[in-house]
Amino acid sequence: MSAEAKSASLARRDDFPILRETVNGHPLVYLDNAASSQKPRQVIDAIRRYYEHDNANVHRGIHELSNRATEAYEGARQRVADYLNAGSRDEIIFTRGTTEGLNLVANTWALENLREGDTILLTEMEHHSNLVPWQMLARRIGAQLDFIEITGDDGQLDLQWLDEQLARARLLSLTHVSNTLGSVNPVAEICARARAAGVITVVDAAQSTGHAPVDVQAIGCDFLAFSGHKTCGPTGIGVLYGRRELLEAMPPYQGGGEMIAKVEYRDVTFNVVPHKFEAGTPNVAGAVGLHAALDYLDAIGREAIFKHSQHLAKLACEQLGEIDGIRIFGPSEGRSGVVSFVLPDAHALDLATMADQKGVALRAGHHCNQPLLAKLGVPATARASFYFYNTEAEVDRFIEVLHQVRKLFA
């Protein structure tokens, strides 16, 4: 393959100023996209324009700047609804990120509806943000946790007992794509089986929403959460989708301004959805940046983005597989752009530290998946995660650096 072909990505890399950086004297090869994606100039410019021309507090303002800010904020809400194919923009709640969205569901719908002895069903591959909130709730109300097991290093869910587990559960919360294994779970099938059993479903879409088509109506979930910073958007902004009839019946998550309709000394009337879940001044600039990010991703095409990331991950796995004694975690076919592995002769943290000296940004550790890694019998893995702006040449550079690091431990 020609050098020109190997350098090709799905986007103009010039759109991403940070990709021109050098690290320790080497061109940056950024392979930590599962932790956070980089931001194109279009997103950076949208945020700057907002602060330079439209910045004000939203809602209830009479002056022009407030009207512009409100239009931008609510326009971003509509953009997210379109992106997810939600039934209405009123089903879109802005949060700080996936973690807050999941905590919101745990502390509103679940706290209001679950009782002592009820079962919350999770999977063994959940990120801590989709495990710890349910642990805290279970301790608080005396609920039980149950887990859909994984089949081993291949990172597949064992669904043979799913119907029996759903028969005992009131709520199921699961990840769409594993941040460690790269597994793409059949969430539409699982949600359909849960719905037939009368079980409420929550989907952690942090690793999928910016990487693949996500349609909440096709998935059939009751709630879905994602983060802006993993979708080429800014940090500090996220989204919780919820079916409107559920949102309307839920109590607010926090109290303060905006989430109220009327306040008296001894009583309060709450605002309508989605505003009753957005207490205080919102992250308007973050919403503006998210809007621009979703426009950017759709201009490329989410299906194309996913296929490109999968292609690079497959290339990486093929070359990693030539190393004797390596353990590669996750499915051999159909994985996302996430590749986690353990070398026989180098600790993951040492590998990532030395790779950084060569300009290659990897992630090493437990990836907020401590129970999963304990089940797999490893304290940490190294992780390379690819996105649409990465190239085949960067895969080659990653493998080259890996071999250079291994020689130091020989």
Closest CA to 279 of 256, 260, 250, 262: 256
SS3 226: strand
DSSP string, 86-146: -S-GGGEEEESSHHHHHHHHIIIIIHHH--TT-EEEEETT--GGGTHHHHHHHHHHT-EEE
Provide the terminal-to-terminal Cα distance of the chain, rounded to the nearest Å: 31
Dist CA 393 CA 203 (whole Å): 34
At the topology level, CATH places domain 3-30+301-408 in Aspartate Aminotransferase, domain 1 (3.90.1150)
The top-level CATH class assigned to 45-299 is alpha beta
> Cβ contacts of residue 91 below 8 Å, gap of 6+?
81, 241, 242, 243, 244, 247, 273, 274
One-letter amino acid of 165? Q
Sorted by where each begins, the domain ranges of the chain are: 3-30+301-408, 45-299
Pairing of strands 200-204, 169-175: parallel
Give the pLDDT band (50/70/90) at residue 6. low
Summarize the confidence of residues 245-258 as an average pLDDT. 97
Indicate which residue of 221, 232, 317, 368 is catalytic. 368
Q: Are 43 and 293 in contact (CB under 8 A)?
A: yes
Residue 369 is predicted with a pLDDT of 98
Dist CA 123 CA 135 (whole Å): 13
| pLDDT for residue 403 is more than 80 | yes
Write the burial class of residue 290 (CB in 10 Å: 0-12 exposed, 13-18 middle, 19+ buried). Answer: buried
Summarize the confidence of residues 102-111 as an average pLDDT. 98
Residue 13 is predicted with a pLDDT of 92
Summarize the confidence of residues 83-105 as an average pLDDT. 98
Cis peptide before 274 (omega within 30 of 0): yes
Q: Do domains 3-30+301-408 and 45-299 have the same CATH topology?
A: no
Give the pLDDT band (50/70/90) at residue 345. confident
Buried (b) or exposed (e) across 310-323, using 16+ Cβ within 10 A?
bebbbbbbebbeeb
pLDDT digits (tens, 9 = 90+) for 27-53: 999 999 999 999 999 999 999 999 999
407 phi and psi, to 5 degrees?
-65, -30
**368 catalytic per annotation:** yes
Dist CA 10 CA 22 (whole Å): 22
Reported residue count of the chain is: 410
Give the pLDDT band (50/70/90) at residue 280. very high
Residue 9 is predicted with a pLDDT of 72
